[in-house]
Structure 1
């Protein structure tokens, strides 16, 4: 699905329920004033400002951007004073922020060189430093976002030449009102409104500028407040609730995003999460415990036949036990399979809320839920950007497991065997020196086809 950019009157409707994390980071890096972040009516978030301002690499880019924008904004005046009054850019704090200059100096960064006597030379040096350092900010952006598109925002076209710097200054001066908060960045200014309005609008435009289309909108938007409110109301009206998960027919990453999207204060009545799992489902279910404050119980089922799972039967039996023995009156079922309908019909006095995946749940099942007055929602719609943690943890867990099964090497045994076969005699001191110099620095070498070998330092 592609989201069309429309008039300002429809903008809030089109970009509703979006997040503001990405635009806040971009706003910080291009130098948007702190007071904008402090204004609750503006998109950039003060919390993100504090996070970014705590990092040296991002602070440096911010202050470089502030100085570059200040020069662009006052290019004609500064250029005239340098030519007619022979003033140095260092002596114009009214045009170039002294605070940013002092900060860069404290970090050992100087863009004013003795050989630079013209204004465009200062901009070229700023461009060079920004180009060399912008990649230091890459870890602060998610892996799913095309970093090259972000990087381009900070690279002035033809920015190492006099012509390029003057063209950029002219373009900025002519369209200053179209730049976000009038801060310079590399884009073709047009009447798009505030391009940092929210994450959904920003990435839509960002990808479009590069001839690309962004489609993963659940990474930059959250489920509607109506859905969240309905879930919280369901939990609030319960005496005790549990979440019942059919792991075969659910996505662990989407569920993690859903749980993170709910205010923990409103989930206090959820006593536990019951995961009905079998050996064929994703390993990520085994680390869900680390990403929620709700108690998680793993119920592993066996298979009588290889192609026949007992998850549905055990799920129904355990839910009945929870209802009659533990007095659980409310169940949140996470599954896109229709087999849980037997559970719902078996407990007429219990309350149910169902979470499904949009493409996996049949129309007939959704219609049956609606006709029975059972509220259901799509876990696909919850903001998924906060599920990156469980994805990375699951990935690393499996890679470590693979390494443990593939590599069994003890370097002490290797060294002792090499000494035995070569019949070399070394003192203990010589062994320690050899070990520290040649064995300890050993490293992996990966070829173009992904084959791994271990190489000793020679």
Structure 2
């Protein structure tokens, strides 16, 4: 694993200063590698107490944490512990001044014992800890999002050649010589160098993690959130409004980014939004149809058919409905979600209405942004909000479409299949025998997926 010096870039704004980052990933890594509880208690440190409390209830996470604590304690105090074991015939359990007694007790309570009778040397204990960590670390994979390369995270916990007593000693030498570079002085598998606090925030940690693997992380919206300036302007806008309606051009917006944006705003202000009106073309993302499940705001979903296949009517219908809301329902404030410059006509035609515009950075041209700025209309980027909150919507949208596909593609009745097989083979089965056959072979049918993605059913025969 190679570490490298690098320049962080994020077009088009240039160098990243790790601003407005989230702390979810670093908090989970900090918990698992055994960062002390007092660090989570300190509000000035990055690891978050809420994450600690959540993971402490997860047995798999708790086991990895305590194994890492014990391993670090041994590495940090190797000579002192080894001398006590050799000269005073002490057991590692009887040395709480060097090895965390609470970590060992919790491991015992969770059914984990790394002390083997055959391990008479201290390095043998490390080998056993390494083996258990290697066997169990994948049980913590579910704690991390799909977009984060799990193998990169996993590598942090795997001591190189950690099942060899000689190589564990080499790892201990590297650790001890560079102790101050390790995060909160806890052991991880990396090439130690002065990177400052690598668990400073998610943006810094994930960027470094990928660099250590000669890779580049670019999806910064997954590890950052809009700053206080952006959110403050949105809150001020809503607070100064009588009634707010959100109108969404689904053709020119991303349902996942909008969902993430709404979920990162304070509920107190969201309650002032009367409704979200989605103006949806038949050809846009199907996720719009389930957006309401992921927001507390009422959603009206208007699907607009095309008269001509090459001409959408979304912009006309959105404009007409916004005028209706303003004049008939006395809506004074609108949040327009679209990167289309066509809506400047709507904004300029309702001089007494107030507008805030949410756009996507790559979809909105400079002319539209200049016009909004010159008119004193605040706009913000959906891209700047933490997109990790949209993962649930993405998964639900995927599952929904996959179920529809499977219902259309797979129409198999296993009872009819068995009836046909019995008829063709001219086998007669009494009811009891047929039921046993059904339970043993039909209910245990397995899906087999080949490398090309083709699916077939296989009968499990022991």
Stretches of structure 2 lacking an aligned partner (at least 5 in a row): 9-15
Distance in 2 (CA, whole Å) between partners of 1:412 and 1:237 is 64
Query: In the TM superposition, what whole-angstrom CA distance separates every residue of 1:68-121 from its partner, at most 9, and x where no partner exists?
Result: 011011111001111222222122122111221122222222111111111111
1:156 aligns with 2:159: yes
Match of 1:365 among 363, 368, 378: 368
For the pair 1:278 / 2:281, whether they are aligned, the reply is: yes
What does 1:8-27 correspond to in 2, within 5 Å?
A: 14-27=17-30
Contact kept? 1:195, 1:201, Cα under 8 Å: yes
Q: Does 1:454 align with 2:445?
A: no
Select 1:71's aligned residue among 68, 71, 74.
Answer: 74
Structure 1 stretch 344-353 or stretch 410-419: which is displaced more?
410-419
Question: What runs of 5+ residues in structure 1 fail to find an aligned partner?
Answer: 6-12
What corresponds to 1:132 in structure 2?
135
1:105-116 alignment runs, 5 A limit: 105-116=108-119
Residue 446 (structure 2) aligns with: 443
Q: Does 1:202 align with 2:205?
A: yes
Matched, 1:256 2:259: yes
C-alpha offsets along residues 223-245 of structure 1, whole Å, 9 cap, x if unaligned? 11100000011011100001100
Partner-residue secondary structure (3-state), 2:335: strand
Counterpart in the other structure of 2:64: 61
The structural deviation recorded for 1:422 is 3.1
Matched, 1:415 2:415: no
1:91 corresponding residue in structure 2: 94
1:61 aligned counterpart, secondary structure = helix
State the 1:264 CA deviation. Answer: 1.2
Indicate whether 1:190 and 2:190 are aligned: no
| Residue pair 1:3, 1:204 contacting (<8 A) in 2 also | no
Q: Which has the larger displacement, 33-42 or 225-234?
A: 33-42
Higher alpha-carbon deviation: 345-354 or 102-111: 102-111
Q: 2:323 aligns with which of 320, 324, 327?
A: 320
Q: Distance in 2 between matches of 1:421 and 1:209?
A: 61
**What displacement does 1:419 show?**
2.6
**In 1, Cα distance between equivalents of 2:460 and 2:165:** 47
Shift of residue 39, structure 1, vs aligned partner: 1.5
Tell me the residue number matched to 1:8: none
* Paired position in structure 1 for 2:11: none
Residues 238-266 of structure 1, C-alpha deviations (whole Å, 9 max, x = no match): 00001100000001111111111111111
SS at structure 1 position matched to 2:70: helix
Question: CA contact under 8 A between 1:245 and 1:273: conserved in structure 2?
Answer: yes
Contact 1:24 1:45 in 2 (8 A): yes
The aligned residue for residue 40 of structure 2 is 37
Measured in 2, the distance between the counterparts of 1:219 and 1:423 equals: 60
Q: How many angstroms apart in 2 are the aligned matches of 1:33 and 1:213?
A: 30
Q: Give the TM-score, by structure 1 length.
A: 0.96
Q: Distance in 1 between matches of 2:454 and 2:211?
A: 37
TM-score normalised according to structure 2 size = 0.95
Q: Distance in 1 between matches of 2:209 and 2:216?
A: 9
**Contact kept in structure 2, 1:172 and 1:184, CA below 8 Å:** yes
Aligned to 1:346: 349
Distance of 2:399 and 2:169 partners within structure 1: 48
Structure 1 distance, partners of 2:447, 2:164, is 42
Deviation at 1:3, TM superposition (A): 7.5
Q: Aligned-residue CA RMSD in angstroms?
A: 1.6
Structure 1 CA distance for aligned equivalents of residues 216 and 439 of structure 2: 52
Q: How far is 1:445 from its partner?
A: 0.9
| Residue aligning to 1:28 | 31
Task: State how far apart, in whole Å, the 1-side matches of 2:7 and 2:224 are.
Answer: 16
Asked if the contact 1:31–1:65 (Cα under 8 Å) also holds between the matched residues in 2, the reply is yes
* Secondary structure, counterpart of 2:389 in structure 1: helix
Instruction: Quote the Cα distance in structure 1 between the aligned partners of 2:460 and 2:193.
Output: 56
Note the alpha carbon deviations across 1:135-154, whole angstroms, 9 max, x for none: 11111111111111101110
Residue matched to 1:51? 54
